[in-house]
Amino acid sequence: MQRLEIIRGGSADPTGRRGAALVAAADRGALVRLAPGRFVDAERWRAADARVRHLARIDAVDELIAPRLVLSHESALALHGLPWSGEFPDVVHVIDPRRETSQALRLLRKHPGKHRPTRLARAPSGRLVTDLRSTVVDIALTQELRRSVPVLDVALRRGVDRTQLGSELEAKSAAHGRDRARFAIEFADPRSGSVGESIARVALDEVGAPRPELQAEFHDADGFAARVDFWFPDHGVVLEFDGAAKYRDPAMRAAGLTAADVLLQEKRREDRLRRVPDVRQVGRFGWPETQDTARFRALLLGLGLPLEPRRFRRIR
């Protein structure tokens, strides 16, 4: 896992001379100050993705905070390499086993850990971190479905047992978010092909689409025709989520294919699907539809999919 080098001054420099030079470099914009006496190269910071930047925040505070604190929530998620959409928080999330209430500090968000059963693992630094099971349940309790379901999908794919997730949830004392977390654990599916497909599946449920089969395979007279993202057998509808990633895939370029070549391949694949007797409609949608409820509903209704109210809708 990629990490940014933490440049240390402050307590790591008893003379104070190096610390003063680092502060001056941060004032010039050459360094980014993440914590007292802890810096990273500004150019590398800007080039890093959101996960790598958050890992740098964790590394920057690791030597500055009490050993009893346990990395948790989004910070534990980053360490476990779980999917996350958008930016990570500017603070490091920890559980304090001595606290009964939350506390928001400049560098830390402390969650209460007194009387809380928590499954633990070790971070690369040696600091305690919530284990995979406990981490994904914390995310399910605190995050909307579009963020928690991709995390749970990956956890199930890594071998975490759904029943154990339910037991972990019931062992936690948190009251807020429990119903949503139970739903997310039940809704999670290890067959989801990507983070985009996981979010797309939540979007389908938000507008009341029937539950689809995932990664269904179709064959015709010539053999294997396609594996599809979403299949609605009662309605004969195939639905594909097009996040456009395939058109930028390095493997595609290595094979000498252009985006136009891939588009042609997709058209031929869809033509084969339409000739399969059980398939009546083939539709596509992407990120714009998942963000526009009216547009998405119209697309699904146009394909012949019935829609009904759902309990958990997106909170805007």
DSSP codes, 33-87: EEETTEEEEHHHHHHS-HHHHHHHHHHHHHTTS-TT-EE-HHHHHHHTT----SP
Does residue 75 have a pLDDT over 80? yes
Percentage of the chain exceeding pLDDT 70: 88
Give pLDDT, residue 15. Answer: 55
Higher pLDDT: 11 or 275? It is: 275
CA distance 29 to 32: 7
Give pLDDT tens digits for 242-262: 865 554 555 545 556 666 656
Residue 31 sits at φ, ψ, to 5 deg, of -125, 160
Using CA atoms, how far residue 228 sits from 25, 76, 239, 283, 304, in Å, is 52, 33, 7, 11, 18
Higher pLDDT: 87 or 265? It is: 87
Give pLDDT tens digits for 183-192: 999 999 999 9
Average model confidence (pLDDT) across the chain: 89
Give pLDDT tens digits for 121-144: 999 889 999 999 999 999 999 999
CA distance 56 to 239: 39
Give pLDDT tens digits for 140-163: 999 999 999 999 999 999 999 999
Number of neighbouring beta carbons within 10 Å of residue 224: 10
- Binning pLDDT at 50, 70 and 90, where does residue 172 land? confident
pTM of the model: 0.88
Candidates 234, 242, 307, 296; CA nearest to 270 is 242
Give pLDDT tens digits for 33-71: 999 999 999 999 999 999 999 999 999 999 999 999 999
CA distance 153 to 166: 14
Tokens 């997730």, residue located: 165
- Binning pLDDT at 50, 70 and 90, where does residue 311 land? low
Residue 21, CB-side half-sphere exposure with 13 Å CA sphere: 8
CA distance 141 to 138: 5
Give pLDDT tens digits for 78-89: 999 999 988 999
Q: Which SS3 state, helix, strand or coil, does residue 133 take?
A: helix
Candidates 73, 74, 62; CA nearest to 124 is 62
Does residue 270 have a pLDDT over 50? yes
Indicate the domain borders of the chain: 1-48, 49-187, 205-302
Q: Which SS3 state, helix, strand or coil, does residue 124 take?
A: coil
